[in-house]
């Protein structure tokens, strides 16, 4: 026969915390820590860098000595502007394949991404580009050339 040797508790001793309550408290602390960690992480997220996009309609200062058929690419723009005897026209330099910026060369344009070639008027000379480079709307305002990157015009549209 076994005897339990429990010592009698005094009424002044604190109630022992049951094991189940310890686990519950531990879970609460873990959850609070996870929330705090997550919130701290969110506070450290980089702020969105919102840059003002340039206007699609812009003025171009055409070089005076631009030879006929020679492309002028305004700095920071995906447009090539040409001047010939019939007038001024602008060709988008965004490749119609996957959107790379094509580079002008003496024969026209060449895409550095997959090798498409375009004539100076934007017509496709070699794929994989499926369509010609679009022509963009050009207007002359107060003697200055205005280009609208947001508006396309039919090929061959020149402004005198
Ligand atoms: S993006 Fe120009 S050829 Fe593919």
Domain residue ranges of the chain, discontinuous segments joined by + = 57-153
* Confidence at residue 1, expressed as pLDDT on a 0 to 100 scale: 45
Q: Fill in the DSSP letter of residue 101.
A: B
* Confidence at residue 66, expressed as pLDDT on a 0 to 100 scale: 67
* Confidence at residue 34, expressed as pLDDT on a 0 to 100 scale: 95
Quote the ligand 1 centre to 132 CA distance (angstroms). 12
95 within ligand 1 shell (Cβ under 6 A):
yes
**Percent of residues, the chain, with pLDDT higher than 70:** 89
* Confidence at residue 129, expressed as pLDDT on a 0 to 100 scale: 86
111 within ligand 1 shell (Cβ under 6 A):
yes
Helix (H, G, I), strand (E, B) or coil at 136: strand
Smallest CA-to-CA distance from 70 within 61, 78, 79, 80 is with 80
- Any idea which architecture 57-153 has in CATH? 3-layer Sandwich (2.102)
Token pair listed for 33: 């820590």
* Confidence at residue 20, expressed as pLDDT on a 0 to 100 scale: 75
* Confidence at residue 21, expressed as pLDDT on a 0 to 100 scale: 82
113 within ligand 1 shell (Cβ under 6 A):
yes
Quote the ligand 1 centre to 79 CA distance (angstroms). 16
Cβ-contact 103, 109 below 8 angstroms:
yes
* Confidence at residue 30, expressed as pLDDT on a 0 to 100 scale: 95
Residues of the chain with pLDDT below 70 are: 1-6, 48-49, 51-52, 62-66
* Confidence at residue 4, expressed as pLDDT on a 0 to 100 scale: 52
How many CB atoms neighbour CB 153 within 10 A? 16
Output the pTM of the full model: 0.61
Cα 140 to its chain centre, rounded Å, is 31
């Amino acid at each position: 026969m076994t005897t339990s040797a429990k010592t009698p508790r005094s009424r002044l001793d604190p109630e022992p915390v049951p094991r189940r309550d310890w686990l519950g408290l531990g879970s609460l602390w873990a959850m609070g820590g996870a929330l705090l960690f997550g919130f701290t992480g969110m506070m450290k997220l980089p702020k969105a860098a919102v840059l003002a996009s340039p206007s699609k309609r812009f003025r171009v200062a055409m070089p005076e000595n631009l030879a006929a058929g020679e492309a002028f690419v305004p700095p920071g723009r995906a447009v090539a502007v040409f001047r010939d005897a019939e007038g001024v026209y602008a060709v988008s330099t965004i490749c119609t394949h996957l959107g790379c910026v094509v580079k002008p060369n003496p024969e026209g344009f060449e895409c550095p991404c997959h090798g498409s070639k375009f004539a100076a008027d934007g017509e496709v000379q070699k794929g994989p580009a499926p369509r010609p480079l679009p022509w963009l709307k050009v207007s002359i305002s107060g003697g200055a050339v205005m280009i609208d990157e947001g508006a396309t015009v039919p090929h061959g549209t020149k402004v005198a």
